[in-house]
Structure 1
Amino acid sequence: MADALELDALWDEFHRVVNMTSQELAAWLRVNDEAEESVPPPEYAGSPTGEHVLAILQKRRIDLTEEDLDVMYEVVDTVTAETDPGPGHEAEETRRRRRLMTLGHDPLRSSA
């Protein structure tokens, strides 16, 4: 398990990059599963990571498991790597936005 300082830093960074509320993410995951045109790529099929992010958002820091921490690191790394990739084709940007929203990050929303 991570030490207290590392856990605090991860908790803060996770909640910074996950800029959608649990209600918004739950609604997005439902819509994303139902919409034919917004089917995510195979690595996001079924959105298990998105569901795990949703579960983490509903937990207290003290209740986190080792698996939760792994998912939190994965989400922070993915969002950080995919944020601000430079100018891209509109369809590519739409796919990237949908993929990030599946993780709880809406790139059109300002990070505060």
Structure 2
Amino acid sequence: MVNRNDSEFVEVWENFHGLVNMASPELRDWLFNTPDGADTYAPEPDIDIHALGLQVLQIKEKRRTDITSTDLDTMREVSDLIRGRLQNAPETDINDDPWRSTLMTLGHDPTRADSPRGPDAEA
């Protein structure tokens, strides 16, 4: 059972929603209009980024009171993956890079002003 008043829950919830800066409709459009696996790269070979993006979408569409312990684990994983990718931003134009596509599949658009990059991504 998830205690939604627990400080750890609150921290994970806020981190996740701070890093996942795409609205549900934007993420849905991205996921369903981008071929599975196209122009993305997995941070780890055994991670299916597209499937993880679908889980992010499901979590984004839930109310805080409906979050499960599995959702909480996914939120932690996605936050860690996003932070890791942001710390390793390419030096080239990010708009056409698989790096951006991977982040967007996880619900984070790195071209937005609210996106931390480099050392700032550690927060």
Q: TM-score, normalised by structure 2?
A: 0.75
Higher helix share: 1
The answer to whether the 8 A contact 2:49-2:102 is kept is no
Alignment partner, residue 29 of structure 1: 31
Alignment partner, residue 40 of structure 2: 40
Deviation at 1:85? 1.9
Matched, 1:110 2:116: no
CA distance in 1, matches of 2:40, 2:34: 8
- The match for 1:14 among 13, 16, 29 is 16
The answer to whether the 8 A contact 1:25-1:54 is kept is yes
Alignment partner, residue 67 of structure 1: 70
Identical aligned pairs, as a percentage? 37
Deviations 1:76-95 (A, max 9, x none): 1011111142543448x610
CA distance 1:86–1:55, change in 2 (3 Å): closer
Read off the aligned partner of 1:40 and give its amino acid letter.
T
Q: TM-score, normalised by structure 1?
A: 0.82
CA distance in 2, matches of 1:25, 1:55: 10
Read off the aligned partner of 1:48 and give its amino acid letter.
A
Q: Which runs of 5+ in 1 are unaligned?
A: none
Which one has more relative contact order, counting CA pairs under 8 Å at least 6 apart?
Answer: 1
SS across alignment from 1:83:
helix
Deviation at 1:40? 3.1
CA distance in 1, matches of 2:49, 2:114: 27
Q: What are the residue-to-residue correspondences of 1:73-88 with 2, within 5 Å?
A: 73-88=76-91
